[in-house]
Every structure is written in structure tokens, then in C-alpha cells.
Amino acid sequence: MHFKFHLIGLFLTRILQGVAVSLSWCVLKAPLLRLIFATLLSLLPLSLATRAALAQQLILNPVGLPAVIGAGVGERALWSNAGTVGGVAVDIVAEMAFAGRDHVFTTGNGQIQITSRGQDPHFMDFYLYEAGTHNLTTNSGGVPVVADVFFQINDIDGPLNEQVYVNICEGSVEFVRIDRGATTYRGYIEGPDANLGTEVFYLAGDRPYSNQPVSGLEIFYPQVSTFNFGRTANNGFLVLLSNPTYDEAQTYDLQCGDFKAPLLQDDLKEQVLGEPVVVNILFNDSVATENNNAPANNSGEPSEYAKQAIDLVPPTGALNVVTDSQGHRVGFEVLGEGTWSYDDLTGELTFTPFAAFFAAPTPINYRYQSPIILPSEPQAYSAPAEVSIDVGSVGLLKLAQLVDLNLNGYADAGETIAYVFTAENFGNVDLTNVQLQETQFSGKGVQPVITFQAATSLSPEGTLLVGERAVYTATYTLVPEDLDTTITNQAEVTAQTPGGTNVSDLSDSENPGDGDGTPSNGPGEGRDDPTTIYAGSGPDRGDAPITY
């Protein structure tokens, strides 16, 4: 596919060159030709860009000894037919870009090899060219080939005698991959370093190895025709460039943000009452925001490693704590509130409330375990960040009482029923747009109008601060058709949270004998009994006195 689009690009280029000459005399006079010419011109940049857009992975081939020119800084080597990219054969050219000694480009076991001439940090630049197009002697020519370059450097001997350096925050590296079973040291040098001239991630040996792939790393450079890395080692120590072999399920992928000084930000999420709430806790932390290095490391998202390096800090008294294979706490239960669980594949933290819990849960903390591993030092954790859940919750109570004007103990037409409504904010956020309305009313007269009276924190009508109560009243005038019937009604309070979530509650009756007989303010089962009054009209009709 890559080669096919290369030919298309060359073909279009040749066509356009011919068309430009042969049609130039009539382009301005012929609208159709003018349209064709413009279309062909628009295809040219597309054809040239296609090769980069469709870059495929570099597959390394077994190689012979390279051609080598020069020594020390500026030394160059060319390995012929060193790999393929989408079926196109490529030569790989290496140049010693930074060194204090004469390190050696060679071949070992059919693989590109760099042999150290002693402890000396050195960096190499590598170039991909279509096979046979680059002149090593004159350092000229060469058709660059864009590829996803993904290779392995294994067998990092130790302890600390061999190190590999990667410019992980420079922008060309998407990630480095390390086997979970590796015990190698890893760190980050803030730059510019006096010896290296740059800031780098480094992997260092911690014991003598012998061709053990898990003692190395894999590096991914997407969409490049040139790449680099550095190293240092004792005299005679070598590294080989190999195709990747790590089992992805048994590795960590690390990115720039993992090695910057960790700074975790507190998280706040609003919950829909009674429903699970999911918080992406890492996306505002440095492990994500430091991944802002274009073009390859600019996702602004946490790495695979970062998601798996989170340790929850349960509040005192938490139950049923769950840990993962790394010893990180990833779940627990808070008595009377609900369960917290962390998904290390997505970086999502979920709070699931118990069925009867309708308040804000106790805030919890989490921390991040640094990937840096150094001799005789424990793997450090970041300072913790707090996760809080905002919950909008409102409740409503309703009381009804006959105003017996003639004190005869019975209901008469023209007498009234007084209603008192108490709305309360049970959540941990202020509520606005607070409104009350009747949802059912069985009286035969004019439905009562609900009127705001006052709030305990002196909030104006329509606002309920956290923990605040507001009182509303209404009056209903009995008509003859109401007498000797049960008048039933219920109201509903609605409000909005700062996040725009709508909350509501049906009133529960404060009248004795209604429903379960227990006034219960707030959401939940058994807390929404309608208010009833039997309007008995007098003993001459065999009725009992008014009841509530």
C-alpha cells in the first residue's frame, strides 16, 4: 500500500508537469479545463502527504556488517536492506551525534549493534532511506521513508554499568514499554544535564544479565523518518536493535507525564441522586497534562502506567478493602454510604451509593506511585488528592389543619384548611430555582395557591442553602361538595444544582394516620405519603368530627 501511493504521487507529479505546459495557453479560456487543472493541483499535496499519513511499521531485517565512515562525533554507518516499511526496502543510517569516545557501530547476531568504548554518555541519530538511495561517503541523497518505528533494546547489563537514554518529553516518542517483571532501575534527569546536554528518561541495569529481553525496553516513535536514543556502558558492553517481542499484557507503557514531578489536583463531581457517579480522576493531573509534547506525545491523557499506579486512600472505618496485584488499594466500602471502585484500565473512579443513601458521601483521597526506581530507595508516592462528590437533595413535608371558625368541631362550607409546607436542602450544594406545586388535589373548590413565607437562613424565594429550610403556606376554602368527603392532596418541590441537575421530592404528610404515620423528609421509599383530611359536616348526619 505504501509503495502504491508512492507511485501514485510520482505519477501525478509527472502528469501535472506536462499538463501545466500543454494547457497553460487555454486554461484561462476554457472553464472546464480550468476546473480539471485546479483539481489536479489539489491532488498534488494530497499525494505527497499520503506517504506520511499512511506510514506503516518498520520491520527490522537480519543485516550484515555496516559500511562505516569517520570516528567519534560525526561517525556514520549504513546497514543495507536493514528493514521494510509496507513492503519498501530501507537502509538504516546511524550518526554519532554526541560522544566523548570512539564508540563502535557494527552488527551482532544479524542485528544493528552499538558497542561502548567505556563509560561515556553518547547519543545516536538514525535515518530511514529507501534502499540504495543514500550516499554514505558524501552524506547526500537518500529518499526518506516515514514509518512507525517500534523497536527493542534488550540486555541492559548492570548494576548501573549500562544505561539507555530516551528523550521521552521531546515530542517524537509516544511511549517506552517495560516488562512488568523487569527489575531494572529507571529514572528521569531534569535538563539540561551537564553531561547529557538534555533532559532524559533513563533505564539502568541492576544486576548482570545475559540476553534477557525483560532487562531492556521498547521505544515507539510514530510517523518518523529519523529517531535517536543514547546510552553509556562499560568498555565492550553492547546493545542490539530488535523487533519488539514483549507481551503487551505483561508490560507497562510509560510517557513523559509519568516522570515529571507529580502534581495531583482535587476532583469534584456532581452526582445524580441515588445513581452511581464516575470520576476521571487523572485527566487534570500532571500525569496527563504533561503529555503535551507534539507531535507524538500530545494526547493530554494519562499513560497506561499512570492508570495502573493509583492507590486509593480509604477514610477511617472503611470496610472490604480490595487490592490489585501491585498492592494498590482499588476498592472499599464506606459504612452506610456506598462502595468506591477504581478501574485501572480506564482511570475511572466510581461511587455507587447504597439504596437508602441520599446524601453526599465522605470524601476520599488517592495517590500516584512514581515509576522511578533507584538503588536503595523505595518507590515514592505523590502527595494525595481529594475526590469529593456533590449531591443535590431536597425534601418536602406537608401539614394540613382545619380552621374551625365556629368551633363546633366539624367542617362547614366557607371554613378553610390551612396547609404548611417545609422544604429542606439535604445535599451539600446550594439549590436554586426552588419551586413548589400541587401534584394532586381532590377538593371541589378553587385549588389553593402556595405562597413562600421565609427561610431559616433568610434566603430569598427560590434559593435553599445547604441545610436550610423554607416555609410555604396555602389556604383552601371548603365548598358544600367537599363536606363528608376525604380531601387528599400532595405537593412536589423541584430545584436545580449548580451543575444544572434537576432534583425533586414528593411531600410526605405530617398528619397523624397518613401513610406509615411517620413524617419523613427527603427522598426514598415511604417518604411520599399524601396528606388527607376527612371533612365531616356534623353529628346530625352521623358524621364523626374532623380528622387529620
Chain segment 383-401, per-residue pLDDT in tens? 999 999 999 999 999 999 9
Residue 232: CA atoms inside 13 Å, Cβ hemisphere, count?
Answer: 15
The per-residue pLDDT for range 452-493, each reduced to its tens digit, is 999 999 999 999 999 999 999 999 999 999 999 999 999 999
- Phi, psi (deg, nearest 5) at residue 176: -115, 145
Distance, in Å, from the CA atom of 147 to the CA atom of 290, rounded to the nearest integer, reads 25
Q: Are residues 207 and 279 in the same domain?
A: no
Task: Tell me the whole-structure pTM to 2 decimals.
Answer: 0.79
Q: Does residue 385 belong to any structural domain of this protein?
A: yes
Q: Are residues 443 and 413 in the same domain?
A: yes
Distance, in Å, from the CA atom of 312 to the CA atom of 366, rounded to the nearest integer, reads 4
Altogether, the residues listed in the chain come to a count of 548
Q: Which three cell numbers stand for residue 392?
A: 443535590
CATH number reported for the structural domain that contains residue 365 in this entry: 2.60.40
Q: Are residues 99 and 152 in the same domain?
A: yes
Residue of 130, 126, 146 whose CA lies nearest to 224: 146
Return the SS3 of 49.
Answer: helix
pLDDT at position 1, please?
30
Q: Are residues 350 and 402 in the same domain?
A: no
**Start-to-end C-alpha separation, the chain:** 84
The secondary structure of residue 274, as a DSSP letter, is T
Q: Are residues 282 and 367 in the same domain?
A: yes
Rg (CA), the chain: 38
The contacts of residue 153 (CB under 8 Å, 6+ apart) are: 164, 216, 217, 218, 219, 229, 239, 240, 241, 242
Which residue type occupies 378? P
CB 212 within 8 A of CB 179: no
Among the candidates 333, 361, 391, a domain finishes at 391
Among the candidates 254, 276, 295, a domain finishes at 254
Which residues of the chain fall short of a pLDDT of 70? Answer: 1-54, 191-195, 197, 515-517, 520-526, 538-548
Q: Does residue 464 belong to any structural domain of this protein?
A: yes
Distance, in Å, from the CA atom of 278 to the CA atom of 428, rounded to the nearest integer, reads 18
Separation of CA 335 from chain center: 28
Q: Are residues 314 and 403 in the same domain?
A: no
The contacts of residue 516 (CB under 8 Å, 6+ apart) are: 526, 529
Q: Are residues 85 and 192 in the same domain?
A: yes
Q: Are residues 301 and 210 in the same domain?
A: no
Domain encompassing residue 150: 58-254
pLDDT at position 253, please?
97
CB 171 within 8 A of CB 295: yes
Distance, in Å, from the CA atom of 548 to the CA atom of 540, rounded to the nearest integer, reads 21
Residue of 110, 103, 124 whose CA lies nearest to 236: 103
Q: Does residue 24 belong to any structural domain of this protein?
A: no
Q: Are residues 185 and 240 in the same domain?
A: yes
Q: Are residues 203 and 247 in the same domain?
A: yes
pLDDT at position 27, please?
36
pLDDT at position 14, please?
34
pLDDT at position 517, please?
66
Residue with cell 550516499: 135
CB 486 within 8 A of CB 533: yes
Q: Does residue 6 belong to any structural domain of this protein?
A: no
Q: Are residues 136 and 230 in the same domain?
A: yes
Q: Does residue 50 belong to any structural domain of this protein?
A: no
Q: Are residues 229 and 311 in the same domain?
A: no
Among the candidates 344, 360, 391, a domain finishes at 391
Q: Which three cell numbers stand for residue 253?
A: 507503557
* Total number of domains in the chain: 3
pLDDT at position 526, please?
64
pLDDT at position 515, please?
66
Q: 135: buried, middle or exposed (CB in 10 Å: 19+, 13-18, 0-12)?
A: exposed
